[in-house]
Amino acid sequence: MTTHDPRRLAWAYLSRVAQGPHRVLRDFAAEAGPEGAADAVSRGALGERLQVRSHIDTAQADLDLVASQGGRLITPDDDEWPMWRLLAFDGAGMPVGNDQCAPLALWVLGAVSVAELTERAVSIVGTRAATSYGEHVTAEIAGDLAIDGWTILSGAAFGIDAAAHRAALGVGGSTVAVLACGIDRAYPSGHSRLLHRIAQTGAVISEYAPGTTPAKHRFLARNRLVAGLGSAVVIVEAGWRSGARNTAGWARKLGRPVLAVPGPVTSAASKGCHRMIREGEACLVADAHDVVAEAGMAGETDEGRPSMFREIDALSESALLVYEALPASGTLSPRELSDVSSLPLATVRSVLPLLELDGFVASDETGWSRVART
- Contact footprint for a second copy (CB under 8 A): 133, 136-137, 261-266, 270-271, 274, 277-278, 283-287, 290
- Residue closer to a second copy, measured from CB, 229 or 259: 259
* DSSP category for residue 222: H
Distances (CA, A) of 82 to 75, 271, 303, 336, 370: 9, 34, 17, 24, 23
**Single-letter amino acid code for the residue at 77:** D
Bridge partners (DSSP) listed for residue 235:
125, 260
N- to C-terminal Cα separation, the chain:
53
**Residue 372 neighbours by CB under 8 Å, 6+ apart:** none
21 neighbors 100 (Cβ within 8 angstroms): no
Shortest distance (Å) from residue 141 CB to a second copy: 9
Shortest distance (Å) from residue 142 CB to a second copy: 14
Shortest distance (Å) from residue 244 CB to a second copy: 17
**Residue 14 neighbours by CB under 8 Å, 6+ apart:** 25, 29, 34, 37, 38, 41, 104, 105
Shortest distance (Å) from residue 275 CB to a second copy: 8
- Residue closer to a second copy, measured from CB, 184 or 281: 281
d(CA 62, CA 67): 8
- Residue closer to a second copy, measured from CB, 87 or 277: 277
- Residue closer to a second copy, measured from CB, 98 or 270: 270
> Is the Cα dihedral 222, 348, 303, 364 positive or negative?
negative
- Residue closer to a second copy, measured from CB, 128 or 136: 136
Shortest distance (Å) from residue 286 CB to a second copy: 4
**Single-letter amino acid code for the residue at 151:** T
Shortest distance (Å) from residue 271 CB to a second copy: 7
Shortest distance (Å) from residue 240 CB to a second copy: 11
In our burial notation (b when 16+ CB lie closer than 10 A, e otherwise), range 191-220 reads beebbebbbebbbbbbbbbbebebeeebbb
